């Protein structure tokens, strides 16, 4: 099938227009209903992808814009698998995918994915009747099968021609692949990311930044899980959680725990060296055994 011409520009106005729910509560209720309705058709990976889309559909209620690559990393699957799952969820009427392009260079970017409200039979009849009134519009955007959004798409195209792109602000000092957590954590991700690095500083070790970013990803995921569970966390509590997770990860991960252990051994030995002693006896070499392999 030939590629459709992309007419939707990825920006704030687009996501606001595509928003499918008036409240988070209604979104949560709808997702729960979908899981129950299609429990015999959705496997664990399907549910995991739906959960990720659900978690990242808070800022523009019902709409997310994660790349397939990022979703794949989160669930430990390939990009092709994620594409197939999203297409499956779309075929079930759970979501709708919109191809979008950047304003800066007009190149394709990540799809906007909208979780669809549950429709009753009466609404479906109205939608079928409305098809006759939108024949020309349907020809222009034939990939839009759900006519609930035809009027919205028309408005989006108008907005794209008349308004400049307004993207979610890029938060400095936070890695690009962690920026999407703004959808759930807002601008607090900068301070939370700092708490992850503070754990490394407190342990007095130097860890590769890629490992630290992985640990930050783990901490942010856990915070999102807590928020999704309905926990009302204030900023201080979130900071403590991020710090504690990072501290524990550094102390327990296979690729960092030996570094932490060695540094702690050195610290203990140096404290004893600096501590006044009546007999001035030198500390035993065994204090450094963990470091020098004695």
Is 294 within a domain?
Answer: no
Q: What is the pTM of this model?
A: 0.44
45: confidence class by pLDDT, cuts 50, 70, 90: very high
| Residue 186 confidence (pLDDT) | 83
Average pLDDT of the residues in 149-158:
51
* Structure-model confidence comparison of residues 115 and 284, the more confident one: 115
Statement to judge: residues 192 and 151 lie in one domain: no
Local confidence band at 138 (pLDDT 50, 70, 90 cut-offs):
very low
Instruction: Clarify whether residues 204 and 142 are in a common domain.
Output: no
Based on the fold, state whether residues 205 and 155 are members of the same structural domain: no
Domain residue limits at 142: 8-162
Q: Is 199 exposed, middle or buried (0-12, 13-18, 19+ CB in 10 A)?
A: buried
Compute the C-alpha angle 3/11/27, nearest 5°.
90
Element (H, E) at 64: strand 63-64
| pLDDT tens-digit readout, 207-265 | 888 888 889 989 998 888 888 777 888 889 999 999 999 999 888 888 888 888 888 77
Is the same domain home to 121 and 250? no
Same domain, 188 and 231: yes
Least confident of 102-106, 108-112, 180-184: 180-184
Return the higher-pLDDT residue of 265 and 164: 265
d(CA 244, CA 225): 16
Q: Give 183 or 161, the one with higher predicted confidence.
A: 183
The count of domains in the chain is 2
Residue 270 lies in a domain: no
pLDDT-based confidence at residue 134 (cuts at 50, 70, 90): very low
């Amino acid at each position: 099938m030939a590629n459709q011409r992309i007419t939707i520009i990825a920006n704030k106005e687009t996501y606001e227009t595509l928003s499918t729910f008036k409240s988070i509560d209604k979104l949560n209720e709808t997702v729960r209903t979908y899981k129950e309705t299609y429990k015999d058709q959705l496997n664990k990976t399907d549910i995991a992808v739906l959960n990720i889309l659900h978690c990242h559909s808070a800022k523009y209620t019902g709409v997310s814009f994660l790349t397939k690559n990022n979703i794949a990393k989160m669930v430990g699957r390939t990009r092709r698998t994620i594409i197939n799952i999203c297409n499956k969820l779309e075929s079930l009427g759970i979501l709708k995918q919109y191809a979008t392009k950047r304003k800066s260079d007009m190149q394709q970017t990540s799809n906007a994915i909208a979780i669809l409200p549950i429709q009753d039979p009466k609404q479906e009849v109205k939608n079928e009747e409305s098809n006759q009134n939108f024949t020309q519009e349907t020809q222009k955007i034939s990939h839009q099968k759900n006519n609930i959004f035809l009027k919205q798409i028309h408005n989006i195209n108008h907005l794209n021609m008349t308004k400049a792109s307004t993207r979610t602000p890029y938060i400095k000092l936070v890695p690009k692949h962690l920026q999407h957590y703004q959808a759930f954590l807002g601008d607090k991700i900068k301070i939370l990311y700092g708490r992850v690095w503070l754990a490394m500083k407190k342990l007095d070790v130097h860890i590769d930044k890629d490992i630290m970013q992985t640990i930050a990803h783990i901490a942010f995921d856990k915070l999102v899980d807590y928020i999704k569970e309905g926990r009302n966390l204030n900023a201080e509590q979130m900071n403590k959680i991020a710090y504690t997770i990072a501290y524990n990860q550094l102390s327990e991960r296979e690729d960092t725990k030996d570094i932490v252990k060695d540094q702690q051994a050195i610290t203990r030995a140096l404290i004893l060296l600096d501590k006044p002693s009546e007999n001035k006896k030198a500390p035993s070499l065994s204090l450094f055994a963990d470091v020098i392999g004695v």
